[in-house]
């Protein structure tokens, strides 16, 4: 990693974390059928996954990213209340159902909030933000 710029290092680290979380989410979706990990931990991890995806694209300078990720996730959840997939006529497409979801649940919003609070807490404890982002640039 010597000779690489700071942004490139941050992007690579974020990409690595993203890939690990993506693999974990896939394993949970395919093999875990319980009442704790799949519905709650999976929903917490999905916002952390989104956070690191955004950090690949914008390694610096994205203020309050955990809040923005939460608002996005909550908006997707609320769209489920209004049956957005059906309104768009894509409810029969598996990928659309997976991305947009099918059923609204307040517990999902709570899990998204918990995941984003965890991210915000880690950023605060790190003092520089996740994986080395300066606090004044987050």
Q: How confident is residue 122, by pLDDT bands cut at 50, 70 and 90?
A: confident
For the CA atoms of 85, 89, 91, 93, the dihedral, rounded to the nearest 10 degrees, stands at: -120
Q: Answer whether residue 23 shows pLDDT above 90.
A: yes
Using alpha carbons, select from 81, 89, 129 the residue that is nearest to residue 105.
81
Report the pLDDT value the prediction gives residue 138, as an integer from 0 to 100.
41
Total residues belonging to the chain: 138
In this prediction, residues 30-47 reach a mean pLDDT of: 94
Q: What integer pLDDT is reported at residue 129 of this predicted model?
A: 47
User: Is 39's pLDDT higher than 80?
Assistant: yes
- pTM here is 0.84
The pLDDT score that the predictor gives to residue 96 is: 84
Q: How far apart are CA 31 and CA 18, in angstroms?
A: 20
């Amino acid at each position: 990693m010597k000779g690489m710029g700071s942004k490139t290092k941050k992007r690579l680290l974020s990409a690595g974390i993203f890939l690990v979380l993506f693999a974990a989410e896939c394993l949970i979706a395919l093999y875990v059928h319980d009442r704790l990990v799949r519905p709650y931990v999976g929903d917490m991890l999905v916002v952390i996954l989104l956070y690191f995806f955004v950090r690949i694209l914008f390694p610096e300078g994205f203020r309050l990213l955990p809040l923005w990720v939460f608002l996005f996730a909550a908006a997707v959840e609320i769209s489920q209340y209004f049956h957005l997939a059906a309104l768009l006529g894509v409810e029969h497409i598996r990928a659309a159902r997976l991305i947009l979801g099918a059923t609204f649940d307040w517990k999902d919003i709570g899990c998204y909030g918990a995941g984003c609070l965890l991210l915000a807490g880690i950023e605060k404890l790190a003092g520089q933000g996740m994986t080395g982002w300066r606090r004044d640039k987050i």
